Structure 1
Amino acid sequence: MVGPAVREVRITPPRGWELLDLAEFWAYRDLFRFLVWRGIKAQYAQSAVGIGWAVIKPLATVATFTLVFGQLAEIDSGGVPYALFSFVAMVPWTYFSGCIRGGTASLVSNANMISKVYFPRLVIPLSQVCVGLVDFAIAFLLMIAALAVSGYAPNVGVLLVPVLVAVMVAAAAGLACWLTALAIQFRDVNHATVFLVQLGMYASPVIYRAELVPEEYRPLYAMNPMVGVIGGFRSAFLGEPTMPWTDIAIGSAVAAGLLLSGMLFFRRREAVFADVA
């Protein structure tokens, strides 16, 4: 009697600079959804305010910025109330900075899981990028309400917002892949990331107008993808003079490069994650 056929599954590390196995990623889509849902719940577990923190944090930050930079430092906001000027910038920046911090620590915080069972490791940092979209959506709706109450209506530039969000997400995902792949082997990357995120806020036009940067340095400045994203948000919702097309184009190219190179580097290092976790 012939016994049942035995199916052999062999798991091998990726060869060369492989970007992403879409079929494998799709096969683990339930794990991806689980990690996203777990991340969302973990943010507000055992919290009295719960999801209200998604409202409190941007409002508290805007209030602080308005007092310090708007009232005391009297930074030029182009005739727009400084509270709205900073709020429109803080919505995308808070998402971006949160994804960098959470994505960098994602592999380290899931070290037990990656050392015991196989799955495409890329689902971990990418799930963190998706978790942040919940807070972003809440803050975005709050921003729209604040603008409506203040009498500001979006212009035709709002049609570009989905592109700006895509650039923001791509840049965050690319940097998260780079940093988390390094952080699992060099744990001091987590500490450096906190400092770099704080520094990055001042290297982005969050508390000031991008027009203050000298024209000869603008192409270099625009290599920060958030320059074009924040400038585009302000143009679409606050009626800034013109949409910063050059900044957006340069930032989009950099974001695409970060995403592609980050995923390639992550996949290249994936074979050693379980050994160093």
Structure 2
Amino acid sequence: MALQLSELWEYRELLYFLTWREVKVRYKQTALGAAWAIIQPLFTMLIFSLFFGKLAKVPSDNIPYPLFCLAGLVPWTFFANGLAQSSNSLVTSSNLISKVYFPRLSIPLSAVLSGAVDFTISFALLIGMMTFYRQVPPARCVYLPLFFLLAFVTALGVGLWLSALNVKYRDVRYTIPFLTQFWMFATPIAYPSTLLHEPWRALYGLNPMAGVVEGFRWALIGADTAPGPIIVASSFAAALILIGGAFYFQRMEKIFADLV
């Protein structure tokens, strides 16, 4: 079964407008607007720094704990928001789906793409935090786009699965907050993956976001934990999730208009 990616390319202008629509809807009639992209990771970092950094004395690989935590929260927030937006995107676009034909894949794809705006804003906060701690990015920061791509692939892959399932089973949306919360604590954001020893640390990389978070810290703030085995496992898992989600999404696509 072909994924018809060429058709998605033909509708690239529609993808652009859907993405821009997602951005505008997200900030429409909000008091703080784009500031939410800073508030969410900032306040989560403060809470984690208090309870995990100060009280629990969780190690942070010789990196100031607030910076250690925020470096994990920035890519995680992009993933979590992309997952939440894409998983419910088909249901919220039901009027559009039932009226005209276009590649349905562009709907969850635009939902994830729109999160790049928030990511850019929160990334600026991370750079400001690095400046405060006088942390200079190492030369390996050139690998950051690859880790962002891994986060994007993971968010899109899971979003394709959940958006298709949410059309058929509407109670799927109620499981998403629980799934996101569980996934966050299963990802080394508040703690380092070095707490695990091999081979368990490599297996831990089957959680794709573990590779993303460890990769961000290694590339941007100079963490000593090179994410070699974790990245291999995370990339493999993310690719499987995306390919499986894309084929399942396409198999369900022909009945979306009837179900929404």
Q: TM-score, normalised by structure 1?
A: 0.90
> Given the alignment of the two structures, is residue 159 of structure 1 paired with residue 146 of structure 2, yes or no?
no
Q: 2:254 aligns with which of 253, 260, 271?
A: 271
Q: Is the 8 A contact 1:154 1:237 kept in 2?
A: yes
- Aligned-pair CA distance for 1:191: 0.9
Separation (CA, whole Å) in 1 of partners of 2:57 and 2:103: 50
Q: Is the 8 A contact 1:107 1:184 kept in 2?
A: yes
Give the match for residue 107 of structure 1. Answer: 90
Return the letter of the residue paired with 1:19. Answer: L
- Give SS of 1:240's match: coil
- Aligned-pair CA distance for 1:177: 0.6
Which stretch of the first structure deviates more once superposed, 183-192 or 71-80? 71-80
Give the match for residue 18 of structure 1. Answer: 2
Q: Deviations along 1:17-59, whole A, 9 cap, x unmatched?
A: 221341x223322221111111101111111221111112211
Q: Is the 8 A contact 1:157 1:243 kept in 2?
A: no
> Given the alignment of the two structures, is residue 51 of structure 1 paired with residue 34 of structure 2, yes or no?
yes
- Give SS of 2:233's match: helix
Separation (CA, whole Å) in 1 of partners of 2:130 and 2:72: 13
- Aligned-pair CA distance for 1:117: 1.5
Q: 1:36 aligns with which of 7, 16, 19?
A: 19
Unaligned runs of 5+ in 1: 1-16
Across the aligned residues of Structure 1 and Structure 2, the Cα RMSD in angstroms comes to 1.2
Query: Which structure has the bigger radius of gyration?
Result: 1
> Given the alignment of the two structures, is residue 66 of structure 1 paired with residue 49 of structure 2, yes or no?
yes
Q: TM-score, normalised by structure 2?
A: 0.96
Runs ≥4 residues deviating over 6 A:
none
Which stretch of the first structure deviates more once superposed, 87-96 or 115-124? 115-124
Which stretch of the first structure deviates more once superposed, 194-203 or 29-38? 29-38
Unaligned runs of 5+ in 2: none
Return the letter of the residue paired with 1:95. Answer: F
Separation (CA, whole Å) in 2 of partners of 1:224 and 1:80: 23
Q: Is the 8 A contact 1:204 1:226 kept in 2?
A: yes
Flag the 1:193–1:259 CA change in 2: closer, same or farther, 3 A: same
Equivalent runs, 1:115-130 vs 2, <5 Å: 115-130=98-113
Q: Deviations along 1:162-187, whole A, 9 cap, x unmatched?
A: 11111111111111111101111011
Q: Deviations along 1:209-245, whole A, 9 cap, x unmatched?
A: 0011232322321111111111111112222213211
Q: Is the 8 A contact 1:185 1:276 kept in 2?
A: yes
- Aligned-pair CA distance for 1:88: 0.2
- Aligned-pair CA distance for 1:119: 1.0
